[in-house]
Amino acid sequence: PPVLRHDPLVTRAAHWLQLRFAQKPQLSELSDALAVHPRTLARRFVASLGMTPVQYLQGLRMEAAKRMLARSDRKVDRVAYLVGYSDPGFFKDLFRKQTGLTPGEYRRQATSIPTSPLPVSSSERPALSDSGPEADSSPSRGRREPPHR
Chain segment 82-116, per-residue pLDDT in tens: 999 999 999 999 999 999 999 999 999 988 865 55
Rounded to two decimals, the pTM is 0.71
Are 83 and 22 in contact by the 8 Å Cβ rule? The answer is: yes
Exposed/middle/buried for 96, CB within 10 Å: 0-12, 13-18, 19+?
Answer: middle
For the segment 1-7, the average pLDDT, to the nearest whole number, is 80
Q: What is the pLDDT of residue 34?
A: 96
Q: What sign for the dihedral angle of Cα 55, 61, 64, 69? A: negative
The residues, ordered by sequence, that sit 6+ positions from 26 with a Cβ below 8 Å of its Cβ are none
The whole-number pLDDT of residue 130 equals: 44
- What is the pLDDT of the chain when averaged over all its residues? 82
First to last CA, the chain: 64
